[in-house]
């Protein structure tokens, strides 16, 4: 699945000429020099909490095109709450026997698509309190469950969306 050339070495070596850095490690693990050694317009997701692998300002200064973190005080917050409520809502509504890869892919696409034509470097992920998210994820996950044969019952995805809209109690920002 990874590293078919069996490359050895520390992060600062293997990060050279890559396009995307995904950090789920420890604060400060990524330096500006490492970002500068990546290909043009590198994309950085630095999700160590509470201190990201690199601070967004440093990543930008080193040439990052997009930087996301786990924190609410910076743009592009990677927050699980965008996924799990809608995923289980959709899975439960079709009485799914499992949550499979198709359903996870559908959830990721549903979240991404909500950004739409408002897409900018500082807005690649919807806000955690965007009330459209759980309904959209639920309906797409329900649809993917039915299409991939893990749904015990068939439902109308639009109905799943409408019902989730009614169930959510979060306030619009």
Does residue 25 belong to the site contacting another protein (CB under 8 A)?
yes
Which residues within the stretch 72-101 sit at the binding site for another protein (CB under 8 A)?
76, 78-89, 91-92, 95-99, 101
What burial class does residue 136 get, using C-beta atoms within 10 Å of its C-beta: 0-12 exposed, 13-18 middle, 19+ buried?
buried
Does residue 111 belong to the site contacting another protein (CB under 8 A)?
yes
Q: How far is the CB of 134 from another protein (least distance, A)?
A: 4
Does residue 3 belong to the site contacting another protein (CB under 8 A)?
yes
Among the listed residues 87, 81, 69, the one whose alpha carbon sits nearest the alpha carbon of residue 124: 69
Query: Smaller CB distance to another protein: residue 57 or 160?
Result: 160
Beta-carbon neighbour count of residue 60 at 10 Å? 18
Binds another protein by CB under 8 A, chosen from 61, 72, 112, 159: 112
Residues 6 or more apart whose Cβ sits within 8 Å of residue 151 = 94, 95, 96, 142, 145
Among the listed residues 74, 55, 65, the one whose alpha carbon sits nearest the alpha carbon of residue 20: 65
8 Å CB contact between 88 and 103? no
Q: How far is the CB of 94 from another protein (least distance, A)?
A: 10
Q: How many residues bind another protein (CB under 8 A)?
A: 80
Which residues within the stretch 34-63 sit at the binding site for another protein (CB under 8 A)?
39, 41, 43, 45, 47-50, 53
């Amino acid at each position: 699945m990874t590293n078919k050339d069996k490359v050895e070495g520390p992060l600062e070596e293997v990060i050279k000429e890559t396009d995307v850095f995904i950090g789920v490690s420890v604060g400060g693990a990524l330096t500006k020099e490492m970002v500068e050694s990546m290909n043009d317009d590198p994309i950085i997701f630095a999700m160590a909490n509470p201190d990201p692998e690199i601070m967004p300002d440093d990543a930008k200064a080193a040439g990052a095109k997009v930087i996301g973190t786990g924190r609410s005080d910076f743009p592009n917050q990677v927050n699980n709450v965008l996924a799990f409520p809608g995923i289980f809502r959709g899975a439960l509504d079709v009485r799914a026997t499992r949550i499979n890869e198709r359903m996870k892919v559908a959830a990721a696409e549903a979240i991404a698509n909500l950004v739409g034509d408002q897409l900018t470097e500082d807005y690649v992920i919807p806000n955690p309190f965007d009330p459209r998210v759980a309904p959209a994820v639920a309906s797409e996950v329900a649809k993917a469950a039915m299409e991939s044969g893990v749904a015990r019952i068939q439902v109308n995805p639009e109905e799943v969306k409408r019902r989730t809209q009614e169930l959510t109690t979060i306030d619009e920002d």
